[in-house]
Structure 1
Amino acid sequence: MQTLRDAGVEPEVIVSGVDEDHVTADSPGDLARTLAVLKARAVVATLDDHATVLGCDSVLEIDGVAYGKPGTPEIARERLRSMRGRSGILHTGHCLFDTASKRELRELASTTVHFADLTDDEVDAYVATGEPLVVAGSFTVDGLGGPFVTGIEGDYHNVVGVSLPLLRRMLAEVDIAWPSLWQSPKPFAYDEAEAARYDESRGGLERAHAAASAVHDLLPKGGRVLEVGTGTGSVAAELVAQGNLVHGVDLSPAMLHHARFRLPGHVALADATRLPIADRRCDAVVAVWLLHLVDDSEPILAEVARVLRPDGVFITTTEKSDATRYASGRVPPERRSQDALTHLVARAAQYGLTLDAATSFAGHNQSRSSGPDPIYPMIRFRRSTH
């Protein structure tokens, strides 16, 4: 939840798995609150330690009808055309469950939203971005859809997905002071200008698509995928387009500024050596073009092993061969890189990660000379079942 992160709170995001399509209620507000309760309870049921769990769900009400995520471009297009020039009520259900005190609080926040009179071209262009397909009511106020909302009456944060003032009051009821949750993220070297030109300077979306296709072929079908060092989210977005559920973390606020438009609600500011995820929560972890940047890859391997489920997989790019470096006009590195294959295999084995597959893919527009584009090796480790 980017809203929480911007407010200084770093949550652990756990997908509840609740089937929203088969839940009904007497009113749109009741539906939002019921879904929030079901999501919170589903997550609580998976926990081994005490925690404070927040479940949220949003529903847009227009003329008494509830609208959730459209899911397809056709439905999103139809809804946006019916909404233009009108007003609706965005209901967000909040369920806070504190396992230590066994208290469950249920609240509903509602905000009136006024929509602009969009043209057909604007609707088609907005749907083509993919953003309205994955958000309640087919719109956002903090993303590409912001210019299409002419005004709101009530809590802005509630429209984004969680009412911060309401959550603060709910936490106070279970004796948690809001300032106690504040964290200070580590700074990172990328500034906004570097992040803005990152994709273009690294081969653009063609290279991201090639990388994602290679990752996809090594992924288990279904499950929860975490990309560490997600950067601008270009590879993660391609993986989502191929049918994967992906969350991304990165240490750079500037890079995440771009990633959140590609993965709304599914990116977090976090250090790969201290992931905000409980043990054994991920079916797959992906690291593309990351390990060669770090001074020591072992802490990352340890964290990957911690968050992977038994039989889960870790997929990462590895050091390019010396031959490829010469072909692209570069000399071999002076010291052994942290993504060198032999180094990774030896270090990963200490944490129950065993090499079990490999592939490669070609870069695009990456050659620094007239030579061929570089070839990127990619390997897969599997987590032991012990």
Structure 2
Amino acid sequence: MSADDGRAVQRPRFVLASASPARLKTLRNAGVEPEVIVSGVDEDNVTADSPGELARLLASLKARAVVATLDDHATVLGCDSVLEIDGVAYGKPGTPEVARERLRMMRGRSGVLHTGHCLFDTNTKHELRELASTTVHFADLTDDEIDAYVATGEPLVVAGSFTVDGFGGPFVTGIEGDYHNVVGISLPLVRRMLAEVGIGWPSLWQPAHFAYDEAEAAGYDESRGGVQRARAAAEAVHGLLDPGLSRVVEIAVGTGIVSAELVALGNLMHGVDLSAAMLRHARHRLPGHVAAADAARLPFADRRCDAVVAVWLLHLLDDSEPVLAEVARVLRPGGTFVTTTEKSDAARYADGRSPKERRSEDALALLVARAAQHGLTLDGATTFEGPPRGGGAAPVYPLVRFRRTRP
């Protein structure tokens, strides 16, 4: 789908099939917030002809195991690392005794860190298997240094019993090749693999203007009325949803506080958001049902959703048109879009805020006109109250429902 055909370019659903915190952190530092699904592959019972092939095989098994669990299109990346010294593959040691023995064997020597990468794109049905290898030179550690390092617990849970980005960094005297590959994922290699399936690396970046840091995300709920307002919103949304829906998606799910209340009312909820910090909270409330995605580039196939919900989102946008187009794309015929809309300027003034100087992207008249262009027809409305602020009256929020009438 091209950018000049009148519709937004869909952001790929990118899944990391790995439990490694280092891989996730590396991707986040590069501007990518993947959806993490752990494969559950038993690495101990897998063998191969060489250490490099072992890493590649394990990466493939991880990716395939996660692909088998998906019910929507996604691009899944599996990774696994092993350290090769003298032709022998070393994975995670598991125990302090094994880690201590390995580090004594490695000190003053060099090894090759192999990271297998398997990219499976369910849209194109392409599976790419690649290997990145980096030579690592180790310091001549003393026994005391080895004992202290093992005591941190870090070498027990990483391939080769060392890290380059943690406590083990001072014990690596040099590398030859890709630094990120030693951490567990080769970013240049992943970029090339994505390009082979038609995905540009920048398409995975998360826009910064909706970013929240951890402190902001932690305090967000209470600063916005907490559970009381979320429950009121959820009850109002629930009243506009058709009964018995199998897939309801909240866009800009935030911390998941509203969706969690909708789950309590019997709805099966899925959530997407751009903010990594917000999603970390949402995953606790909706485990396994949240993903990093732009509301204008949803990770769902056409006509796969029963309902889409947007609570306090549209007024934040510079242009609500791409979101409405995307909502219409993913809704099945007869599906519904439930969203909050702009309070009147009079209500804003009564709340002690100035009237808006420009047309709001959640103004009802604007939404009705734009929604109609995409086969969405207004067919329901309600209101709900938030908790009183500053001793004043409780704010009232309008909520409307659009139904997808176009086949």
TM range (shorter): 0.5 to 0.7
SS at the partner of 1:286? strand
Looking at structure 1, the residues matched to 64 and 210 of structure 2 have their Cα atoms a distance apart, in angstroms, of 40
Q: Does 2:246 align with 1:229?
A: no
Aligned to 2:308: 285
* 1:197 alignment partner in structure 2: 219
Distance 1:8 1:284 in 2: 33
Structure 2 counterpart of 1:144 = none
Aligned-pair identity (%): 57
**Residue 337 of structure 1: how far off its partner (Å):** 1.1
CA-to-aligned-CA distance 1:319-340 (integer Å, 9 cap, x gap): 1134433432334322221111
- 1:210 corresponding residue in structure 2: 232
Q: Distance in 2 between matches of 1:355 and 1:195?
A: 33
CA contact (8 A) 2:66 2:76 kept: no
Q: Note closer, same or farther for the CA distance 1:155–1:206 as it changes in structure 2 (3 Å cut).
A: farther
Q: C-alpha offsets along residues 238-290 of structure 1, whole Å, 9 cap, x if unaligned?
A: 11222212121122222223222222222222221222222222111111011
Q: Which structure 2 residues correspond to residues 260-339 of structure 1 after superposition, within 5 A?
A: 260-339=283-362
* Structure 2 counterpart SS, 1:300: helix
CA deviation vs aligned residue, 1:5-64 (integer Å, no higher than 9, x gap):
759797998xxxxxxxxxxxxxxx9xxxxxx999956967x87xxx76799xxxxxxxxx
Q: 2:382 aligns with which of 359, 366, 371?
A: 359
What is the DSSP-based 3-state SS (H/G/I as helix, E as strand, rest coil) of the residue aligned with 1:236?
A: helix
The CA deviation at 1:357 is 0.5
Aligned-partner Cα distance in 2 for 1:261–1:155: 26
Distance in 2, matches of 1:243 and 1:380, equals 19
Partner of 1:312: helix, strand, or coil?
strand
Partner of 2:207: 186
SS in 1 for 2:288: coil
Partner residue in 2 for 1:242: 265
Change (3 A) 1:101 1:318: closer
Q: Structure 1's 265 and 359: CA in aligned 2 closer, same or farther, altered over 3 A?
A: same
Q: Any idea what the Cα deviations from partners look like across 1:329-371, whole Å, max 9, x if unmatched?
A: 3343222211111110011100000000001100113x35x32
- Counterpart CA distance in 1 for 2:382 and 2:263 is 20
In structure 1, C-alpha distance between the alignment counterparts of 2:279 and 2:66, rounded to whole Å? 26
Please tell me whether Structure 1 or Structure 2 has the larger radius of gyration of its CA atoms: 2
- Give the 3-state SS of the residue equivalent to 1:239 in structure 2: helix
Contact 2:249 2:269 in 1 (8 A): yes
**1:373 paired to 2:394:** yes
Q: Which residue of 2 is the match for residue 348 of structure 1?
A: 371
* Residue ranges of structure 1 left out of the alignment (5+ in a row): 14-28, 30-35, 56-94, 106-149, 157-164
Q: Is the 8 A contact 1:11 1:276 kept in 2?
A: no
- CA deviations 1:192-217 (Å, max 9, x no partner) are 23222211111111000100111111
**Structure 1 residues 54 and 269, CA, compared in 2 at 3 Å: closer, same or farther?**
closer
Give the letter for the 1:372 counterpart: A
Question: Relative to 1, partners in 2 of residues 1:38 and 1:235: Cα closer, same or farther, differing over 3 Å?
Answer: same
Paired amino acid for 2:353:
R
Partner-residue secondary structure (3-state), 2:362: coil
SS of the residue aligned with 2:283? Answer: helix
Quote how far apart the aligned CAs of 1:228 are.
Answer: 1.0
RMSD: 4.6
TM-score (norm 2): 0.55
Q: In 2, Cα distance between the equivalents of 1:304 and 1:347?
A: 12
Equivalent pairs counted in the alignment come to: 281
> Which residue of structure 2 aligns with residue 162 of structure 1?
none
Unaligned runs of 5+ residues in structure 2 are 1-14, 17-23, 36-44, 46-62, 79-117, 130-152, 160-181
Shift of 1:385: 4.1
For residues 368 and 378 of structure 2, the distance between their equivalents in structure 1, rounded to whole angstroms, comes to 7
Shift of residue 151, structure 1, vs aligned partner: 11
Instruction: Give the stretch that moved more between structures: 371-380 or 322-331.
Output: 322-331
One of 257, 267, 271 as aligned partner of 2:280: 257
Partners in 1 of 2:285 and 2:370 — Cα distance? 33
Distance 1:333 1:341, change over 3 A: same
